[in-house]
Amino acid sequence: MKKSIIVLLHIGFWLCYLLLIAIMVGVFYRSSGHSVDQTARVLNAFRSIFTFALFPSVITFYLYYFLIFQRHLKQNKIFLSIISGLLISLGAAVLGYILIRYQIETGQMVDMDEGGKHGRSTAIRTIIVMTIIASISGMVALVIKGFITWFDELKLKEELKQKNHDTEMALVKAQLDPHFLFNTLNNIDTLILNNAKEASNYLNMLSDILRFMLYETKTDRILLEHEIEYIKKYIELQKIRTSNLNYVHFQVTGSPGNKTIAPLIFIPFIENAFKHSANKKIDNAINVQIFINKGSILFVCENKFDPNRKYKQGSNGLGNDLIQKRLNLLYPGNHTLELDKQTDIYSVHLTIQNG
């Protein structure tokens, strides 16, 4: 919350508090008549109420605000908050009473209780009343501080949600590797001369992929069935670059039904598999499987790679750290990701719990 709004909340509270004191003095003034002597009594009453109510309230308000809320209440230490609050209110009341007695003894204030005859005898009663008033002010401080904290946390969550959304959109845009797009278009262009019908089929697949990425990925969740269709078309387009029909093995076990999932959650691993896979003439160089169970979805992606080949870090695709961060944002505590690198096989096992 902006500091200016916080200051206005504080000013508003104290203005209301002073208005209440003014009303109490006004009532006393009306009941006392309008003589000079009575006016002096009203001024004395105003000073008494001001010292009686405002002084301890200011102390407790800001001690509750800065000390109790931050150190105890925010940490859910309720009992400690109550004890600390009572001690602070009592201490402020005692200080206020001492200030009142000092003004009475020095002649700055006249004791309203029969000219001061019974001033000291009512000390306990006065301190108790002042403690109650101070405690009420302290509780108001906790309410104000709690509201400000709640508002700030809500705003922070909204900002994190927006950043999460922006990150997801950036990730979605990053998924469309320009090399993949250019290579696919070039392959389709070459295929037009040899098999126009098949080229048209691949062009429709590419169009579906672009449509999927532009429109369906704007939502937080999509049907798992649509994600699987996207993966199928992506793999088919990647296979244009090789004549080996068994280069990629893709299998889905179980029925997607009405299950939903975050868009493009699996494709970074598949993209990296194509990027780092070994010779395209090898059968089952890439193995992608999705197991759909009643309570979870298991994604498995394995690819063979050349251990002697050096791969550039951060070129095309998404790194595992960024992928893991996205999973933590989308499925906090609701997923497991296992990465395993053997001599010539890299495997990914991602389990996402439903719900």
pLDDT at 275: 84
CA distance 187 to 201: 12
Residue 287 pLDDT greater than 60, yes or no: yes
At residue 347 the predicted structure's pLDDT band, cuts being 50, 70 and 90, is very high
How does pLDDT run across 96-131, given as a tens digit for each residue? Answer: 888 888 877 776 666 655 444 444 557 888 888 889
Bridging pattern class, strands 248-253 and 286-292: parallel
> Domain 220-353: which topology?
Heat Shock Protein 90 (3.30.565)
Three-class HEC string of the chain: CCHHHHHHHHHHHHHHHHHHHHHHHHHHHHHCCCCHHHHHHHHHHHHHHHHHHHHHHHHHHHHHHHHHHHHCHHHCCHHHHHHHHHHHHHHHHHHHHHHHHHHHHCCCCCCCCHHHCCCHHHHHHHHHHHHHHHHHHHHHHHHHHHHHHHHHHHHHHHHHHHHHHHHHHHHHHHHCCHHHHHHHHHHHHHHHHHCHHHHHHHHHHHHHHHHHHHHHHHCCCEEHHHHHHHHHHHHHHHHHHCCCCCCEEEEEECCCCCCEECCCCCHHHHHHHHHHCCCCCCCCCEEEEEEECCCEEEEEEEEECCCCCCCCCCCCCCCHHHHHHHHHHHCCCCEEEEEEECCCEEEEEEEEECC
pLDDT at 316: 40
> Which sequence spans correspond to the domains of the chain?
3-165, 220-353
Average pLDDT across the chain, whole number: 81
Residue 144 pLDDT greater than 60, yes or no: yes
Residue 299 pLDDT greater than 90, yes or no: yes
How does pLDDT run across 152-197, given as a tens digit for each residue? Answer: 888 878 877 777 666 655 655 555 566 677 778 888 888 888 888 8
Helix axes 55-63, 123-175, angle to 10 degrees: 30
pTM passes above 0.75:
no
More confident residue, 42 or 137: 137
